[in-house]
Amino acid sequence: MENGESSYRRFLAGDDEGMVELIRNYKDGLILYLCSITGDIDSAEECVQDTFIRLAVKKPHFAGRSSFRTWLYAIGRNMAVDRLRSLKRRRQTSLEDAAEISDGTDLERSYLMSERKVTLHRAMRNLKKEYQQVLWLTYFEEFTAAEAASAMGKTRKQTENLLYNARKALRTELEKEGFSYDEL
C-alpha cells in the first residue's frame, strides 16, 4: 500500500476517488487503533468518520514532516481525545465487550490475520491504555518509534520508554498465559 499522500493530493485536486482510496486503505487500522483510546469500537468508528470528514471538509495541509499515515493517525487520535473530553458521561464498554460485537469481531478477524497477532491482541487488553496504543502502533501498524511518537503526541524518548515498559508488561501478561514471545 502506498502511503496515502498521492491519494490525498488527488482528492485536493478534485478527484473524489482519492478520498475513497484513503478510506479503503486506512479505515480498519485506524478504527482498531482508536478503539485502544476510546475503549469501545462504536466511538472509535465515529472518530474515524469524523477524521475523514475533517479531511474532506477542512482539507488540512499535509506538510510532509512525517509519513502521511502518521499524520492521519495523529488527526484520528486528536479526534478521539476531543471526543473523550466532550463526553462527561459516556457509555462504558470494555474491550472484551467490544470484541463480542459482530462488526468488531469481523473487523478484528480480517485485520488480525496471524495467530501470533491475535494472541498479542488478547494479551494487550489487560494492559494500560497507553501501553495498548504504543504496542498497537508498533506491532500492528508497524510504525517506527518516531512515527508512533508523532501519532501519540509525545516525544520520541517518551515513546521509546513507553514502548520498553509496554513490552515488559506484555511479556508478563503472555507468560501468565503460558505463552513465550521471543521477539519482545
| Mean pLDDT of the region 86-90 | 61
How many other CB atoms sit within 10 Å of the CB of residue 174?
18
Give the up-direction half-sphere exposure of residue 33: CA atoms within 13 A in the CB hemisphere: 32
pLDDT, tens only, 2-60: 678 999 999 999 999 999 999 999 999 999 999 888 888 899 999 999 999 999 999 99
Identify residue 90 by its one-letter amino acid code: R
What CATH number does the domain located at 113-184 have? 1.10.10.10
Distance separating alpha carbons of residues 104 and 9, to the nearest angstrom = 31
pLDDT above 80 (res 107)? no
pLDDT, tens only, 152-181: 999 999 999 999 999 999 888 888 876 665
Domain boundaries, the chain: 1-111, 113-184
pTM: 0.65
Domain 1-111 top-level CATH class = mainly alpha
Query: Could you tell me if 154 and 134 are in contact, meaning their C-beta atoms sit under 8 angstroms apart?
Result: no
